[in-house]
Amino acid sequence: MVSLHIKLIFNGYVVFYCAAIILPNICICSLFSMPSSDQFSKDPGTFPVATNGESFPWRELRLPNVVIPLHYDLFVHPNLTSLDFVASEKIEVLVRDATQFIILHSKDLEIMNVTLHSEEDLRYRKPGKKLNVLNYPAHQQIALLVPEKLLADLKYYVAIDFQAKLADGFEGFYKSTYRTLGGETRTIAVTDFEPTEARMAFPCFDEPLFKANFSIKIRRESRHIALSNMPKVKTIELEGGLLEDHFETTVKMSTYLVAYIVCDFKSVSGTSSSGVKVSIYASPDKWSQTHYALEASLKLLDFYENYFDINYPLPKLDLVAIPDFGSGAMENWGLITYRETSLLFDPKTSSASDKLWVTTVIAHELAHQWFGNLVTMEWWNDIWLNEGFANYMELISINATYPELQFDDYFMEVCFEVIKKDSLNSSRPISNQAKTPTQIQEMFDTISYNKGACTLNMLKDFLSEEKFQKGIIHYLKKFSYRNAKNDDLWNSLSNSCFEGDFTSGGFCYSDSKKISSALTFQGVNVEIKEMTATWTLQKGIPLVVVEQEGRLLRLRQERFLSGVFQEDPEWRALQERYLWHIPLTYSTSSSNVIHRHILKSKTDTLELPEKTSWVKFNVNSNGYYIVHYEGHGWDQLITQLNQNHTLLRPKDRIGLIHDAFQLVSAGRLTLDKALDLTRYLQHEKNIPALLKGLRHLELFYHMMNRRNISDVTENLKHYLLQYFKPVIDMQSWSDEGSFWDRLLRSALLKLACDLNHAPCIRKATELFSQWVESSGKLSIPTDVLKIVYTVGAQTTAGWNYLLEQYERSMSGAEKNKILYALSTSKHQEKLMKLIELAMEGKIIKTQNLAVLLQAIARNPKGQQLAWNFVRENWTQLLKKFDLGSFAIRYIISDTTSHFSSKDELQEVKLFFESLKAQGSHLDIFQIVLETISKNIKWLEKNLPTLRTWLLLRT
């Protein structure tokens, strides 16, 4: 799954916005631990009460492992007029220990009839036994009570008839609507089950460890088509003009990957090198926007099959653009679903950054077909094995298939973004306990996705790309169609032999040498599991402090904490028991050679081979750590940047800018020193480095503007326009140049117009007027489209016209640009109208509410409006989004985390306390409070310095 918000940040260069196969012989029993002998003999009085008042025979959130599913026969008939569905299923189960009940997950389903058949019943055509059903909604479970004990080691068949309404939100089996060019509203039915919503569509063992095969039949009207994980085998004509599609049985998989859709979409198809049919589906009026996705999917699928040395396991792969979708995309096996803006590409309105986003999401979801689908984590505490790997594989696959995108430079921002959260005490380990559905949903965050990916990238850099690739191939082949955990991955990376390489004695040999879990690195044995545990089982990010004394380097590691200073009383306690095994890399002024060292202790010393004027750690920013150069270290690096910045690698220059401003937030470096480091940027030709420095300065401008600190705001405005004037003046209002040329153009012109730079406003106004005069038919270069719309939205006539165009547009990319422009209005009544439209969900889809509130909250005229709306409409928001959903978490974060005053902190704290009193609690609450406290502290410490520094330079 792609979290829409991970890359949904409004800035200059980040996008506005997650067959029949012979299975290996696996002992099913070995996948599940046996229950304790007294598991079912507890005092019945301690068990929960079912809805009918009877005692419910199971008390745990996790299902018992006494009965496990082998195969589901599932029939579904959705009615897109009455917006409900009737369904039935037959589940083949294996009983592992005698029991008198079966516990399943079920949520908001009306169970009408349940019968049980033994194998003997089916053999002799005996009628099944009707079962009583108990419902325990608090755990989303039902109990099927059997009249006679089910016997161990036998198979049984559970038949269930049930029905429900199509869900209103974005989970389970839900309805989605779209408008045609002619203005007609059409309805489709679609599923989205990750992580715990398959139970909303059919009673099931809804945990990733309970893998099974699925045979699916869907009944529909002739004007619709049905899609599912596997290809269609046949269609049967029924009375009344209905059709019933039968699909091939799936490979063995978890319930959250089951998918089916009933729609009237059109597709474009192609065939991969290995013969897989790939199809892109969209609503009929948007069919023309599917072609880039097909090209990218075919290239990426071919790449993954070669890279993993494992063919894609299914005969077909469908990618479908869904009009209403909660996240960015979902990796259902063989039927991947996407938000329209994550799949469709319109050459007339999609910018360079839009193309990057579409490519990235496709790469992410296709990687999941192996990481997540073929090999699945045992439980949601290790969801990073799915999401971190998918994010990491974006880097590997896009570099190989679309080198012109220079994805390496974009990936650095992925790591920098997560460091903001991971440097707070409220962060969490990559692998973390999660029990309830809400806690499980919270695991889908930037720690699982971004930190997981960045940690893997660091490990790849340490092991070498060849050994890392060999290790993950071993992991995928060994655990295909099974579940895995952290240690399984580390063992595979330590031991890169394949199953066929093992001798009869159980040892693996490679080049006649026995391979153990310890790697030899510079003469030192390194335990991979021991090393990686320090990155996955403890939260936070290390700070490496370097002090140079001639040829001697003194090293020290600490826990890096943003917003907590060394002089603070809590600092020392927050440092205790934190230690990482850090694979360090460094280069010096004397040599471009990359030196390596593993820092496993709190302190260490290194001796350089020759005298050097400076040393730079974390070469190419491949390591997940921050570096502070004590003594004259920073001065020496700043001097080198000013004298000849090209002696440092481009990624090292980016890393220095990032680390310097992070160190300011921790009180380890003064703001004027970090700002002095950016002065060399007037000579910088590397666009990602230039953009990195620009982004920090722009961030300060928006912070001062929101706080209405007018003197600093004006001085920052003059400094930015003066300092970046040469490069701003070089920009053309076109789509010419390389990918990064285009990102730079978008970022610089957006900044110039945000700062009311007269030439920028004049050109944007001229293009907007021409566009309006052409009745929206004029083709404006896509990379400046959002800028033009934003300037145009500042007049009442322009704002109204844009809202009309928003309703008419068939391009999701264009809608995003218009919505952002509308959100920049200085009139609060207009901003409130946008929020109301998004809550209503007809003109502005409710799926876009979180994005809209984020944009409005960043508008100085809208920040209080957005926050007040969330407080006053919390109950209504929870009716539209689940408590732990992406949307709710980002609505909370985006409307509050920019606050920087004690009054605002108190307001937010009181609101969160009232929610906790009502039983609503999320980890994001503590993250937000810590972020606001950090903002307050930053201003108190750095505002005088910023003011003085600017006065000296403007």
Residue 477 placed within a domain: no
Q: Binding site annotation covers 387?
A: yes
pLDDT band at 605 (very low <50, low <70, confident <90, very high): very high
Percent of the chain at pLDDT > 70 equals 92
* Domain end marker among 264, 280, 308: 264
Section 726-742 average pLDDT: 96
| Active-site entry in 207, 248, 340, 365 | 365
Distance of CA 775 to the CA centre of its chain: 38
Q: Can you tell me which residue has the tokens 């029924």?
A: 238
Q: What CATH number does the domain containing 795 carry?
A: 1.25.50.20
**C-alpha distance from residue 50 to each of 12, 59, 136, 286, 437 (Å):** 54, 11, 5, 48, 20
The question of whether 365 is a catalytic residue gets the answer yes
Q: Do 635 and 713 have their domain in common? A: no
Q: So what's the pLDDT on residue 256?
A: 98
Sign of CA dihedral 616, 618, 621, 622: positive
What CA–CA distance (Å, rounded) separates 220 from 728? 57
State the Cα–Cα distance between residues 57 and 66, nearest whole angstrom.
Answer: 13
Nearest to 175 by CA among 390, 385, 322, 17: 322
Confidence of residue 17 (pLDDT cuts 50, 70, 90): very low
**Of 704 and 12, which is predicted with more confidence?**
704
Give the model confidence (pLDDT) of 557-602 as tens digits: 999 999 999 999 999 999 999 999 999 999 999 988 999 999 999 9
* Rounded Cα gap, residues 422 and 931, in angstroms: 11
Q: Which of 308, 314, 317, 307 is nearest to 477 (CA)?
A: 308
C-alpha closest to that of 230 among 16, 86, 21, 44: 21
**149-192 per-position pLDDT tens digit:** 999 999 999 999 999 999 999 999 999 999 999 999 999 999 99
Q: Token pair 């070469």 is at which residue?
A: 619
Residues 6+ apart with CB under 8 A from 790: 750, 753, 764, 820, 821, 824
Helix (H) or strand (E) segment spanning residue 586? strand 582-588
All residues at 6 or more sequence positions from 881 whose CB lies less than 8 Å from its CB, including other chains: 169, 170, 326, 887, 888, 891
Residues 249 and 140 in one domain: yes
640-662 per-position pLDDT tens digit: 999 999 999 999 999 999 999 99
Q: b vs e for 24-48, b when ≥16 Cβ sit within 10 Å of the residue's Cβ?
A: eeeeeeeeeeeeeeeebeeeeeeee
The answer to whether the beta carbons of residues 140 and 107 sit under 8 Å apart is yes
Residues 740 and 865 in one domain: yes
Do residues 431 and 384 make contact, with C-beta atoms less than 8 angstroms apart?
yes
pLDDT at 128 over 60: yes
626-635 per-position pLDDT tens digit:
999 999 999 9
Residues 770 and 905 in one domain: yes
- DSSP sequence for 299-311: HHHHHHHHHHTS-
Q: Which CATH number fits the domain that encloses residue 189?
A: 2.60.40.1730
Angle of helix 863-872 relative to helix 886-894, nearest 10 degrees, comes to 130
Which tokens in the block code for residue 953? 């330079």
Closest CA to 110 of 91, 135, 129: 135
Of 34-43, 133-142, 538-547, 575-584, least confident by mean pLDDT is 34-43
- Tokens encoding 594: 């990359």
- List CB contacts of 940: < 8 A, sequence separation 6 or more: none
> So what's the pLDDT on residue 805?
98
Task: Write down the pLDDT at residue 509.
Answer: 36
Q: Taking the CA atoms of the chain, what radius of gyration do you get in angstroms?
A: 29
Model confidence at 519, pLDDT cuts 50, 70, 90, reads low
Cβ–Cβ under 8 Å, residues 496 and 475: no
- Secondary structure of 792-829 as H, E, C letters: HCCCHHHHHHHHHHHHHCCCHHHHHHHHHHHHCCCCHH
- Distance CA(190)–CA(258), nearest Å, equals 11
Q: Which two tokens stand for residue 27?
A: 């002992």
Look at 17 and 326; give whichever has higher pLDDT: 326
Does 714 have pLDDT greater than 50? Answer: yes
Residue 941 domain-assigned? yes
Question: Which one, of 391, 431, 398, lies nearest residue 415 by Cα?
Answer: 391
Mean pLDDT, the chain, whole residue set: 92
Examine the domain organization and report whether 645 and 751 are in the same domain.
no
Number of separate helices (H) and strands (E) present in the chain: 30, 33
Output the six-digit token pair for 926. Answer: 């503590």
Say if 919 falls within a structural domain. Answer: yes
Measured distance CA(325)–CA(813) in Å, rounded: 15
474, 483 Cβ separation under 8 angstroms: no
Quick one: 863 and 910 in the same domain?
A: yes
- Tell me the two tokens of residue 603: 């302190």
Taking residue 401's Cβ as centre, other Cβ atoms within 10 Å add up to 18
CB atoms within 10 A of CB 941: 15
Can you give the pLDDT at residue 4?
Answer: 58
Which position has the higher pLDDT, 12 or 182?
Answer: 182
Give the pLDDT score at 582. 97
Give the pLDDT mean for 426-449.
96
The answer to the question of whether 607 is labelled as a binding residue is no
In the sheet with 335-339, reading across from the earlier edge strand, the strands are 266-271, 277-282, 316-322, 335-339, 329-330
CA distance 926 to 890: 14
CA distance 641 to 206: 56
Contact call for residues 374 and 476 (beta carbons, < 8 A): yes
Cα(678)–Cα(667) distance, integer angstroms:
18
**CA neighbor of 67 nearest in space, from 104, 98, 94, 35:** 94
Closest CA to 177 of 165, 185, 166: 185
- Ramachandran region, residue 608 (left: φ > 0; alpha: ψ -120 to 50; beta: rest): beta
Q: 708 and 658, same structural domain?
A: no
Last residue of a domain, one of 264, 292, 314: 264
Amino acid, single-letter form, for residue 153: D
Does residue 837 sit within a domain? yes
Contact 664, 943 (CB under 8 A): no
Question: Which amino acid belongs to residue 744?
Answer: L
Share above pLDDT 90 across residues of the chain, in percent, rounded to a whole number: 90
Q: pLDDT at residue 77 above 90? A: yes
Task: Say yes or no to pLDDT of 411 above 60.
Answer: yes
DSSP character at residue 508: B
Q: Residues 815, 946: one domain? A: yes
From CA 833, how far away is CA 869, in angstroms rounded?
Answer: 12
- Phi, psi (deg, nearest 5) at residue 434: -145, 130
For residue 592, give the CATH number of its domain.
Answer: 2.60.40.1910
Query: 283 lies in a domain?
Result: no
> And the tokens for 64?
């018992």
pLDDT score of 500: 44
Strand, coil or helix: 339: strand
Name the token pair of 736.
Answer: 């010419």
Peptide bond between residue 195 and the one before it cis (omega within 30 degrees of 0): yes
Q: What is the pLDDT of residues 30-68, one digit of tens each?
A: 334 334 333 444 454 589 999 999 999 999 999 999 999
Same domain, 587 and 721: no
Q: How far apart are CA 776 and CA 801, in angstroms?
A: 10
3-state secondary structure of 70: strand
Residue 410 lies inside a defined structural domain of this protein:
no
Supply the pLDDT for residue 808: 96
**Mean pLDDT score, 897-901:** 95
CA-CA distance, 8 to 919, in Å (whole number)? 29
The number of domains in the chain is 3
Same domain as 156, residue 84 = yes
684 is in an annotated binding site: no
Range name among 45-59, 270-284, 522-536, 877-891 with the lowest pLDDT average: 522-536
Same structural domain for residues 797 and 897? Answer: yes
Phi, psi at 196, each rounded to 5°: -135, 40
Query: Is 331 within a domain?
Result: no
Characterise 483 by phi-psi region: left (phi > 0), alpha (psi -120 to 50), beta (else): beta
Judged on CB neighbours under 10 Å (0-12, 13-18, 19+), 672 is middle
Task: Specify whether the CB–CB gap between 256 and 234 falls below 8 A.
Answer: no
Residue 633 lies in a domain: yes
706 and 602, same domain (yes or no): no
CA neighbor of 443 nearest in space, from 379, 394, 363: 379
* Secondary structure (DSSP) of 278-298: EEEEE-GGGGGG-HHHHHHHH
Asked whether the predicted pLDDT for residue 219 surpasses 70, the reply is: yes
Domain with 790 in it: 699-952
With 80 as the cut, is the pLDDT of residue 609 above it?
yes
Q: Is residue 510's pLDDT more than 70?
A: no
